[in-house]
Each structure stands twice: as structure tokens, then as C-alpha cells.
Amino acid sequence: MEIYFTENIKGVIPKNKVTLDELSNKVLIFLKSLNQIDEKLFSDWYEQGWSKKEALKKKVSLEKEYIRKIIENEWDKKFPDLGSGFTFWTGKDDDMKNSRISFTIGLITKNEYLNNIVSLSLPKSDELKINKNDERIKKIEKLIRDVWDSTEIEVSYI
């Protein structure tokens, strides 16, 4: 019998016009709730940088104003209907132990091929990878539905 492990969980988020404050709150609630699901995997988050050394200096503060500034800074200035896109990672010394979370939020374009998305990539190292039937996967799926009103969840396995 083969055992499958969860590689990525992605939720498509409805294209509703929401305020920067609402988006900031949702990101904050989501990150804090992930930590409650698994503190070992989701304890610290870092912004991306040009190098690992640079990125490790950019620890994400789980404060509303900090999150708000990231969303605002990453908002597409030329095409505001495309919203904001950014990625955090967990900063582990081994890339196989890292989780990553990517957000595309605030997008309201009528283009049917573009969507708001929250995508969580999970660690691939033997000691941290998560079996597809693990209760944490169900909790993360529920969290995406509850926080982001997602009706479309896609889980990929390795």
C-alpha cells in the first residue's frame, strides 16, 4: 500500500471587493490559526528576500499594521484590480523543512483566468511531511474555507 503525503493546499477565494483592513485581518487570523494547528510547522514566518540571509532579517510580525503594510506595498499600482501578491516562508535552515504560503488577494478583475488564491506548500523532509489523511490537513482545509470563504480547495500529494 502506497502512502501519500500532502505537498500543497490551495484555496480559490471569491472576487469580492474588500477593504485593506478586512484583508489584513484575514491574513492575520489565518497565520495565527495555522500556528494553532501546528506550532512546529507554522511558528515563524519571514518575508522573501534576495537571499536567505536577507530574508531571515525580515521576520513577519503578526500585527495588523505590519500585515497591512505588506499588502499595501505589494498591491499592483499600475493595475489595482489585480490586488496584492506576496509570499512568506518559515525560514528553516533546510529548504525541505520549510513551509511557504502565497497570497493573491484583493483581485477583482473580471478576467475569469485570474483568481484570488491562498496556497500553502508543506515541508517535504521525511520527519515533517504530512500524511494525506492527517487531521491537520482537514483543519487547514476548514481554515481556508472559514477565513477566506473558499468553496474550491485543491490538495496535491507526493
Q: How far apart are CA 146 and CA 11, in angstroms?
A: 11
Q: Is residue 140 part of a domain?
A: yes
How many domains does the structure of the chain reveal?
1
Domain that holds residue 50: 7-157
User: For residue range 77-104, what is the model confidence (pLDDT) as tens digits?
Assistant: 999 999 999 999 999 988 899 999 999 9
**Is residue 129 domain-resident?**
yes
What is the residue-averaged pLDDT of the chain? Answer: 94
Contacts of 141 (CB under 8 A, 6+ apart): 9, 11, 153, 155
Q: What is the pLDDT of residue 131?
A: 87
Q: What is the pLDDT of residues 8-56, one digit of tens each?
A: 999 999 999 999 999 999 999 999 999 999 999 999 999 988 888 888 8
The reply to whether 2 falls in a domain is no
112 in a structural domain: yes
Q: Specify the pLDDT at position 156.
A: 92
